[in-house]
Structures are given as C-alpha cells and as structure tokens.
Amino acid sequence: MANPFVHVELHTSDLPRAREFYTKLFGWKLQDMPMPGGGTYTMLDVGGGTGGGMMKSPMPGAPPQWLAYVGVDDIHASTKKARELGAKIVADVMEVGEYGWMSVITDPTGATLALWQPKPKK
C-alpha cells in the first residue's frame, strides 16, 4: 500500500481518564513526552501494528475524537492535491519538532484526516 495509516491520535478533554481506560482495557504502554510549544503528548505502544498518541484536545469544547494519520512522501504536494480535489485544509503543513511534518484536512464528505511525512532518519 503506497499510503498506509501510520498513527492514530486521541484528542480528549479528560486525558487522565482516557489514559486509565485504555491502559486497563488493552494493556497499552504509555510514555509522556514534552510537546514543542508546551504541554504533554502521551505516546501509545500497542505492541504491534499502528501505534499512536493521546493529548489534551487543542480545541476546547470539541468532543473527544480519534484522528488517523496517513503517511505521505511529500506533505506539501499531498496537501495541495487534497485541496485541489475538494478538501478543506483544517491545519496547513506544520513542522512537528524533530519528527516530521503534518497537515489536517477534511475531505469533501466531511471526514477529517491527517497527513504525515516523517523526517529522514539520521
């Protein structure tokens, strides 16, 4: 598959409760990391398959939701192509620390998806 799902991310207003629930339900291993610009990001080690993370929702009052990320080779070209195909750009291309670049789109049907391009390994 050329563009697989590479990460899933929970945005929630109650991070402690979500951490407790998913740890008890699935036995996921959690690791807190500082986020660029402040705050904490909780990485999910699911033991195999696509991993993910949890964070306090960046939009106060928004309902909790999972956001899926699709891997792309060229974040700028993929975001531009999505726009040309009718997507709304929710968050344009942004750098995510030392890890890579992301953008968030809403497709023409109203579904939200993130695009992800990792930085080359050193």
Spell out the domain ranges in the chain: 5-118
Q: Is 103's pLDDT higher than 80?
A: yes
Q: Is 36's pLDDT higher than 80?
A: no
Joined tokens for residue 45: 């080690």
pLDDT band at 15 (very low <50, low <70, confident <90, very high): very high
pLDDT band at 60 (very low <50, low <70, confident <90, very high): confident
Q: H-helix or E-strand containing 94? A: strand 88-96
User: Hunting for tokens 């949890």 — which residue is that?
Assistant: 54
- Contact between residue 59 and residue 53 where contact means Cβ atoms under 8 Å apart: no
pLDDT for 8 equals 96
| CATH assignment, 5-118 | 3.10.180.10
pLDDT for 1 equals 52
- Contact between residue 95 and residue 101 where contact means Cβ atoms under 8 Å apart: yes
Q: Is 68's pLDDT higher than 70?
A: yes
Q: Is 108's pLDDT higher than 90?
A: yes
What is the identity of the amino acid at 30? Answer: L
Q: What is the mean pLDDT of the chain?
A: 93
Residue 109: count other Cβ atoms within 10 Å of its Cβ: 7
CA neighbor of 41 nearest in space, from 63, 67, 62: 67
Q: What is the mean pLDDT of residues 93-117?
A: 95
- The Cα–Cα gap between 5 and 47 comes to 16
User: Hunting for tokens 């040309």 — which residue is that?
Assistant: 84
pLDDT for 35 equals 85
